[in-house]
Amino acid sequence: MRLSRYFLPVAKESPADAQIVSHKLMLRAGLIRQTAAGIYAWLPLGLRVLRKIEQIVREEQDRAGAVELLMPTLQSADLWRESGRYDAYGPEMLRIRDRHEREMLYGPTNEEMITAIFRDSVRSYRDLPRTLYHIQWKFRDEVRPRFGVMRGREFLMKDAYSFDLDEAGARLSYYTQLLAYLRTFQRLGVKAVPMKAASGPIGGDLSHEFIVLAPTGESEVFYDSDFDQFDWQQSELDYGNEADLKRLFDQVSGMYAATDETHEPARWDAVPEMRRRQGRGIEVGHIFFFGTKYSAAMGMSVQGPDGQPVVPQMGSYGIGVSRLMGAIIEASHDANGIIWPEAVAPYKVGLINMRADDAKCAAAADDLYAKLNAAGVETLYDDRDERGGAKFATMDLIGLPWQIVIGPKGLERGVVELKNRASGEKVELSIDDALARLA
């Protein structure tokens, strides 16, 4: 993409209303624009990052055997009356009336809808287990939307729902998502510690919040520093292997990690003092087993192997896709701007032509840009006629992993400069070598 034809409204100054660094940087780097309280337009550069995060989440859900569908954002109030949540949900639910005075709502989550869809099409135990997911916008009328996309009112969530015949099966579905979450966050370049969460009315040990440590986080967390050595990829584990999944769950449960809601001082005191870590964190994901809460309330049952009706056991599994963008920036930035992990960077390379008014420089930069494109390297090409200093500042601000700088002096010697955004390390090399390094 040529910057001269792009839409990248960057700002020098931090907007006065932004309190945390990720929000400031997202506004300054032209990723988002607020259009109403807690509601954001995704500008071209921000949309690319959002799509990349979404795609990684999708690939890991697919790999774990979950099946994608897409449910609508608008739901009928009647659906929520079936579960009893229409009255229980409270003011976070945005309630709407259509022209026929039918009560509707903008979905804050989808347990009711998925239960109805599954209930209406599944008759037999042979159709279970299944985990279905979608990646869709949600609306919650948060009392205090703040910190940009971290606590928006409209936000993008991946929510998955599992259906099993019995609790043992539901546990396996839960462990499967636990593993998928670890792999997802590892690929996104964030360390999200699975912390025991309050499990609501049905009790049990099956609820975890995935928390990224950050001083601006809204929850107080306590965890064993053994998690710092934890293997997030768990690459030797196999989704089809029950013993593997159980071992992972035992390993996670065996290391202390809790939020203020679930903190157990007695267990905490048993963690060696050297290993106790306490701080603040951001919830980026939440997984939950809730048994037959919705399936029973909404009259879902399938015929079991013995001909008797069985009410499926369910779980739900959320990831805050748009919130993650803020969380990634909180964890990865410096004084000059964002430092994108390569997996979610909007472009891999920023190509800077220092002298757009110099025919030789422009020709060399155009040529390298064409070669990078041909090699499939996602490149943002600053071909504008602007001061070099301003171009550097913009590139650092938007945080692409690599920068290539082409200037007249280097060209005379047949070299360009390659800079790594994260380390700041710069090397001079030939155009061909730069291409070989990045392709």
Residues that bind Mg ion (CB under 5 A): 283, 286
Cβ proximity to Mg ion: between 60 and 283 the closer is 283
Smallest distance, Å, CB 388 to ligand ATP?
A: 38
Measured from the Cβ of residue 175, the count of other Cβ atoms closer than 10 Å reads 23
- Which partner, ligand ATP, Mg ion, none, binds residue 155 by CB below 5 to 8 Å per kind? ligand ATP
Smallest distance, Å, CB 180 to Mg ion?
A: 17
Smallest distance, Å, CB 433 to ligand ATP?
A: 42
Binding site for ligand ATP (CB under 6 A): 140, 142, 151-152, 155, 157, 283-286, 318, 320, 322-323
Cβ proximity to ligand ATP: between 152 and 401 the closer is 152
Pick from 186, 189, 281, 282: nearest CA to 237: 186
- Which partner, ligand ATP, Mg ion, none, binds residue 148 by CB below 5 to 8 Å per kind? none
Cβ proximity to ligand ATP: between 187 and 286 the closer is 286
Measured from the Cβ of residue 311, the count of other Cβ atoms closer than 10 Å reads 17
d(CA 343, CA 55): 10
Smallest distance, Å, CB 76 to ligand ATP?
A: 21
> Is there a contact between 320 and 281 (Cβ–Cβ < 8 Å)?
no
- Which partner, ligand ATP, Mg ion, none, binds residue 320 by CB below 5 to 8 Å per kind? ligand ATP
Cβ proximity to Mg ion: between 108 and 407 the closer is 108
Smallest distance, Å, CB 132 to ligand ATP?
A: 16
Amino acid at 51: R
Amino acid at 294: Y
DSSP 2: B
Cβ proximity to ligand ATP: between 23 and 323 the closer is 323
Closest residue to ligand ATP, judged by C-beta, is 320
Q: Which long-range contacts (CB under 8 A, 24 or more apart) does 415-418 make?
A: 416/364, 416/368
Which residues lie closer than 8 Å to 182 by C-beta, 6 or more apart? 194, 232, 233, 234
Smallest distance, Å, CB 73 to ligand ATP?
A: 15
Cβ proximity to ligand ATP: between 155 and 402 the closer is 155
d(CA 187, CA 179): 13
Q: For residue 314, what are the β-bridge partners?
A: 163, 291
Q: Which long-range contacts (CB under 8 A, 24 or more apart) does 225-229 make?
A: 225/274, 225/275, 225/276, 225/277, 226/255, 226/275, 227/191, 227/193, 227/255, 227/257, 228/191, 228/277
Smallest distance, Å, CB 92 to Mg ion?
A: 7
Cβ proximity to Mg ion: between 14 and 136 the closer is 136
- Listing DSSP states for 125-190 in one string gives GGG-SEEEEEEEEEE---SS-BTGGGB-SEEEEEEEEEEESSHHHHHHHHHHHHHHHHHHHHHHT-
- Which partner, Mg ion, ligand ATP, none, binds residue 277 by CB below 5 to 8 Å per kind? none
- Which partner, ligand ATP, Mg ion, none, binds residue 151 by CB below 5 to 8 Å per kind? ligand ATP
Smallest distance, Å, CB 320 to ligand ATP?
A: 2
- Which partner, Mg ion, ligand ATP, none, binds residue 348 by CB below 5 to 8 Å per kind? none
Cβ proximity to ligand ATP: between 24 and 140 the closer is 140
